[in-house]
Amino acid sequence: MRILGVDPGLRRTGFGVIDVKGATLTYVASGTIIVPTDITLPLRLKVILDNLRQVVQDTQPDVAALEIVFMNTNPASTLLLGQARGAALCALADRNLAVHEYTALQIKKSVVGAGRAAKEQVQMMVQRLLMLDGVPAADSADALACAICHAHIAPLTEKLGQMNYQTRTSRGRSRLRAGRLLG
C-alpha cells in the first residue's frame, strides 16, 4: 500500500509518501509546497490544489492521510487553515483517493509514543522509522508522520471493521432464527 500524508497549511503544505509492506515502511518522496503570501487567497488555495494534484499524479498513492485541524485561540487563523485543508481535500478527492483523517495527538502518539511530543521528536522518529540519511524538514516530517500513523492504525481499523461486520451479521442470523422459531 502506498500512502500519501499531507500536513496542510496556507503558507507551507507538507507532503510525504511511504510504501507499506507488512510491518516494513519505505520512504518514497516528501517535500513542502511553498505558497506565495503576496497573492490573493483564492490563488494561494489554487497553488495548494494544483501542487497536490501533481504530487498524486507523480507518486500514485493508494490512500491519503490528512491531519485534522484543531480550533486554536485565533478563529481567523483556524478558518484560513481550514480553507487550506479544504484545498488539499479537493485535490485528493479529484484524484479519487480515500482520505483518512487523524488528530495531531493520534499522529504523535503513533509515531513517537507520546501525544504531546515536540516537533523535533517527531522529526527524529520519522528519520529513524524510515531510515532516512538526514532529519526531514518540519512540514515534510509532519506529513510523513501522518502517513506513518495511517500505516499503523489502518490494519487495526480494518480488523475492527471486519469484527463489527461479523458481529452484526451473526446477530442478524440469531434474530432471524429466533423469529422463525417464534413465528
> Running along the chain, 183 residues long, what does each successive block of 10 average in pLDDT?
96 97 95 96 97 97 91 81 94 95 92 84 95 95 97 77 49 44 39
Tell me which residues are annotated as active site.
Answer: 7, 67, 139
What single letter denotes the amino acid at residue 48? I
Report how far residue 146's alpha carbon sits from residue 64's, in angstroms, rounded to the nearest whole number. 9
Distance separating alpha carbons of residues 58 and 152, to the nearest angstrom: 24
Q: Global pTM?
A: 0.84
In terms of C-beta density within 10 A (0-12 exposed, 13-18 middle, 19 or more buried), how is residue 74 classed? exposed
pLDDT at 160: 65
Q: Is 162 helix (H, G, I), strand (E, B) or coil?
A: helix
Q: Residue 174 has what pLDDT?
A: 43
At 46 the pLDDT is 98
Which domains, and CATH codes, for the chain?
2-182 (3.30.420.10)
**Cα separation, 163 vs 73, whole angstroms:** 40
Strands in 38-131 per DSSP E: 63-67, 98-102
pLDDT of residue 75: 84
